[in-house]
Amino acid sequence: MCGIAGYVGPDDALPVLLNALHRVEYRGYDSCGVAIHNGNAGSGSRRIEVAKAVGYVDDLRAATGPIPGGVGIGHTRWATVGSPSKLNAHPHLDCTGRVAVVHNGSVENHYQLREELRQRGHRFRSETDTEVLAHLLEEYGSTPEGVAEALARVQGPYAIAVLFEGSDSIIAARRGSPIIIGLGDGENMVGSDVPAVLERANGFIHLEDGDIATVSASGVEIRHRGEAVRRRVHHVRWGPEVVDKGGYEHFLLKEIHEQPRVLRDTLAGRISADGHVNLGLGLDRRTPPEELFLLGCGSAAHAAMVGEAFLAALSDTRVQALEASEMVRPKRRGPGAWSVLVSQSGETADTVDAARDARRAGHFTLALTNVPESSITRAAHAIHHLRAGQEVSVASTKTYLAQLVGLYLLGLELFPPSDRRRRQMAAALRRLPEAVQQALAMAPQLEMLGTRLAAAEHAFIIGKGINYPTALEGAWKFKEVAYLHAEGFASGELKHGPFALLDTDTPVIAIMPRDDTYERMLVAVEEIHARGAPIIALTDCDNAELQSIAQSVVCLPPTDPMFTPVVSTAALQLMVYYCGLARGCPIDRPRNLAKSVTVH
């Protein structure tokens, strides 16, 4: 949810921390702060100095003068307990000012702990649950054992980095929320995820639940239940440029344009010449699915709906897409029950919970994720990696298309169609990156439409069959990126209620590739036209009748009817981007949102 960074080394920590926080700012950006051990080791009067700002890391950078000292921690916040303010921003100190802590997660018993601590004389300054941790840690002392004891009192998930006055190390710990240690040369870092440590690390370690790590410039010691342990070192395969905008004005635009490459990566090595799919997960050795749940939140739930339509078209198996938060207490099932958890970050609390619940209920659980080392991959039996690369913009674009293609591949492996159809689909999948490239090349028309939509107060998006979720996803993106109130509907449903809202100022985007839903979509579009609403048709053919009723027709490159959501979504994304740009929205960091939602 929020971003954590820590640095211990020979250089001043402040600039390193500010750069690191800037890179993880997509995780939370309503306020931020740093705590630095002011002065160098050996200098008698060292104390912890804190600087905070409401807003972005650049605001903190502008407001903070130099603070000497090579040990520090920092945080960029997405408010949960307590409004976004300087007082509530992390790091939080105990009342002596000798313990500073940054925290991701939630202290579920914070009221109770706060009351207890108050009775023992602690005075609180902020409204946050995190401040409780600083006071608690102060009581138990700076050793890893003390930290473990303090954390044993805490209910709820956490990832923390702690600075104790007088110490030349940072203590990091996790339970349920991710935290990593970046390994450099004579310097080390702590981060909520890899971009936080990219500047100085050439390897990194994922802490496990229950680990307490002491990170100094010269090394890292990890203890688990009092015992020293070693954790696998991963190599950093990206440079800091991966999280740069690469010449684009926004990450969102860069990530939209990366999609042809992403789809090639997602497909690479997974389809044989004759169209057989093998994800390399040993799925053929499992009891085949008799019942299959597809679970995700937000855009991932829309991807799951596309997956449902696709898998249901390939087989008679009962397939159900559900918002992960709605999978409450799944029924106990035999090995024929499968749950596929769709989550780009692998950290979405509701999806991780659904994975655990489904597994407990006896389901085979498969995580479809972009982050192979994430909470969901620990919870699930198997991992289907999306290979979309780091996505920085809060709105998901390239990871959404990768999820769709990931689900298509899964469907084709589980329920291969007849030889001819299988080869046809495999060929269409291989051509999909090119089709997306062509759709993105229509940017000038999509920009004109997006800019025109910026003047609207409301918009409808309609689709049918496998493109009904595309309508939902498009509307989701308009809300999130362009702050435009857009609603997605199944085209047949409009006349059952939403028609009441339709007027000449309500643009309707109709997603209507020429598949077996086309004629019914045309009927819906005619009904809308009769009520005077302007229509933008996204289709894959130049069609005279459509030209006469739609205000604009976007002729997208054709693909297999099953794969049209990929192409139409790419076009919608560009329209949304230009609409958001024209409305002056903070494209990559929409208000009130965060990249991964690790709280319930």
Residues that are catalytic? 2, 595
Residue 323 or 540: which CB sits closer to ligand M6R?
323
Query: Angle CA(597)–CA(599)–CA(600) in degrees, nearest 5?
Result: 110
Contact 192, 178 (CB under 8 A): yes
Q: Which is nearer to ligand M6R, 266 or 345 (CB)?
A: 345
Q: Which of 14, 300, 383, 402 binds ligand M6R (CB under 6 A)?
A: 300
Please name the helix (run of DSSP H) or strand (run of DSSP E) that holds residue 527, with its range, or none: helix 518-530
Helix (H) or strand (E) holding 419: helix 419-440
What is the spatial distance between Cα 551 and Cα 537, in angstroms, rounded to a whole number? 8
Dihedrals φ, ψ of 556, to 5°? -85, 155
DSSP reduced 3-state for 53: strand
Tell me which of 38, 266, 299, 573 binds ligand M6R, using CB under 6 A: 299
Distance (Å, rounded) from C-alpha 553 to C-alpha 15?
A: 50
- In the range 343-382, which residues lie near ligand M6R by CB under 6 A? 343-345, 348, 351
Q: How far is CA 284 from CA 289, 307, 414, 482, 581, in A?
A: 11, 19, 8, 44, 47
CB closer to ligand M6R out of 72 and 474: 474
The smaller minimum CB distance to ligand M6R, of residues 184 and 346, is found at 346
How many CB atoms neighbour CB 473 within 10 A? 30
With respect to ligand M6R, which residue has the nearer C-beta, 339 or 348? Answer: 348
Q: How far is the CB of 510 from ligand M6R (least distance, A)?
A: 22
**Per-residue x/- marks for ligand M6R, 530-549, CB under 6 A?**
--------------------
Candidate ranges 36-44, 297-305, 353-361, 434-442; the one touching ligand M6R (CB under 6 A): 297-305
- Minimum CB distance to ligand M6R smaller for 73 or for 481: 481
Nearest-approach distance from CB 596 to ligand M6R, in angstroms:
5
**Residue 220: what residue type?**
V
Pick the stretch among 8-16, 394-402, 420-428, 567-575 that binds ligand M6R (CB under 6 A): 394-402
Bridge partners of 222? 213, 229
Site for ligand M6R in 451-480 (CB under 6 A): 480
Residue 176 DSSP code? B
**Signed CA dihedral, 557, 558, 559, 564: sign only:** positive
Binding string to ligand M6R for residues 330 to 349, with x set by CB under 6 A, is what? -------------xxx--x-
User: Least separation, in Å, of the C-beta of 367 and ligand M6R?
Assistant: 10
Report in angstroms how near the CB of residue 351 gets to ligand M6R at its nearest: 5
Q: Among residues 313 and 593, whose Cβ is nearest to ligand M6R? A: 593
Q: CA 8, 13, 19 angle in degrees (round to 5)? A: 115
For ligand M6R, the nearest residue by Cβ is 298
With CB under 6 A as the contact rule, the residue among 236, 428, 454, 597 that binds ligand M6R is 597
Q: How far apart are CA 573 and CA 238, in angstroms?
A: 26
> Rounded to the nearest whole angstrom, what is the least distance from the CB of residue 281 to ligand M6R in the complex?
20
99, 164 contact by CB (below 8 A): yes
Mask: binding to ligand M6R, 250-289, rule CB under 6 A, as x and -?
A: ----------------------------------------
How far apart CA 268 and CA 430 sit, in angstroms, is 9
CB 68 within 8 A of CB 38: yes
Single-letter residue type at 522: L
What residue ranges bind ligand M6R (CB under 6 A)? 297-300, 343-345, 348, 351, 394-396, 480, 596-597
